Each structure stands twice: as C-alpha cells, then as structure tokens.
A = this chain, B = another copy of it.
Amino acid sequence: MLPPLCGRLTLDRPPEHPLQNLLRKLQLHHRLGGEDRQAVLDLPFKRRLLEAQSYLVREGDVPDRCAVIVSGYAFRHKLTGDGSRQILAIHIPGEAVDFQNMFLDEADHNVQMLTRGEVAEIPRHSLEELALARTEVGRAILITTLVEASIFREWTLNIGRRDARSRIAHLLCEFAYRLTAQGLSPGSDYELPMTQEQLADATGLTAVHVNRVLKGLVADGLIERDRRVIRFPDFKRMRDVGDFNARYLHTLPPQDGHLHLG
C-alpha cells in the first residue's frame, strides 16, 4: 500500500486520465478544440513512480522521451564547476519536463524529482508527430515552452536585481499563483515541498540566510508556517513585497471562474 503521493494535492480528486493535467496546463496558454484535446489524451505513455531526488534528465542525456508530471514536484538545476547548484525552475503536476531538451542534441541541465511522485513518459516521436499533424497542439506546446523561457527571464531578474526578502517572496507568490492557475491549490495555503537549502539554491542565497529571511516574513505577518505548509494571510501585501506581477506567466483568463488570489 503506497502512501499518498503528493499529500493534499491529489487526495480528494477522483481518478482521472494521467494526461488530463497536461491538457489543463497546455490550455492555460492556448485553448484547444475537442479533437485536439482528444489527440493529446490519446498520446501513448508509460507511467512511472519515482522517489524524491531521482533524476528525470541528466546533463548530457540524449532525450528520447518527454516526462509529464502526474503527481509530485520536480526541479531543474545546473551546477558550476566548483559544485554549487542553481535551481532554475520548479515544476508542478501537468507540466512537461522535456520540452526544453527534446529538440536539442543533448540536455544542458538536470531535472530531478523534488518529492516522490508519478510521471507519464511520452515517446519523443509520438509528441513530434502530434505536433506536426495538429497545428494547434504544436502551437500550444510551443507557447508553453516560450512561457517557460519567460519564467527563466523573470528568475534572472529576481536573482540579479532583488534583495533576499523580495526574491523569496517572489518565488512563493509564483508558486502559489501557478498552483492555483493549474487548479491544484486548495486555497490560500499550500505545501511548499522545498527544504530551505533548495529554496536557497533557487534564489541564489545560502540556506542560513533563507532561514533568517523566512523568520522575518513570519515576524512581519506576511506568511504563516507550519512545517512546510505556507499560508498567506494577505496575498496582496506579499505580492508587493515580492514585486510580483503575473504578466510574465501569460496565463489565459480562467475558463470557469476563480483564480483570484486577492
């Protein structure tokens, strides 16, 4: 008997098609018609359960498949010559981890599971065929990939030009926003599946300093923490501190209401 893979996030959801959340993600950026939607769901895939820390992609790999996160979280990172790590992105269920590498000769960075979780592996050629056969699906994939690039740019700004407090606040806002947009956040709080060291590697800081900044945010009533669950008592104020503006996420207005983090 397996423990729940991703805590609160997958618990009270009825079993659904494993690629349903990929579809949701694609449509966050480009709406698809019924046939196109079905074609995405019809993609062949292999489910795989992965432990935390296991590698989805290693630098130098020649990509022959594309993993889509079904449950759990993953992260991209690369290392400097002397071994320090920079986390480049956090990925949530529904996101395809290999769009960035799939068309290149070899991977230029690593992708690892952040938590235990499940992925659906789609053969590269199936995805390529689909993208060519169905223009709109191809376009949705392209746009989703470009949005990822936009997020890389915002992270560069975040790390290059904001102070520690803003950086962390920004990261927390982005994560909350993306979870909510993807329909994965139950409300104003969520489980942040990262250690403080990982948070540090994502923001260009040290774990010690992250710890102090986090305490500062709590002291100022900007966040509440219990273990790794984060709550925002006042998202607006948090957004200000993090200088967060969701434009760079290029999320379409929701089809069915909500997504109003204040």
Contacts and interface: CB of A to CB of B under 8 A. Distances in A.
Contact of A108 (B104, B201, B203, B250): B250
A78 B149 contact: no
Given A145-B146, A152-B153, A243 B108 contact: no
A152 B146 contact: no
A150 B145 CA distance: 12
Given A103-B143, A104-B250, 4 more contacts: A76-B153, A80-B162, A103-B142, A149-B152
A175 B104 CA distance: 21
Interface in A114-160: 132, 135, 139, 142-143, 145-150, 152-157, 159-160
B156 A86 contact: yes
Q: How many copies does the complex hold?
A: 2
A100 interface: yes
Nearest to A128: B139
Contact of A149 (B80, B143, B148): B148
Nearest to A84: B161
B153 A104 contact: no
17 contacts: A76-B153, A80-B162, A80-B243, A81-B245, A86-B156, A86-B157, A100-B146, A103-B143, A104-B250, A108-B153, A108-B248, A109-B150, A145-B145, A152-B153, A152-B156, A155-B156, A160-B203
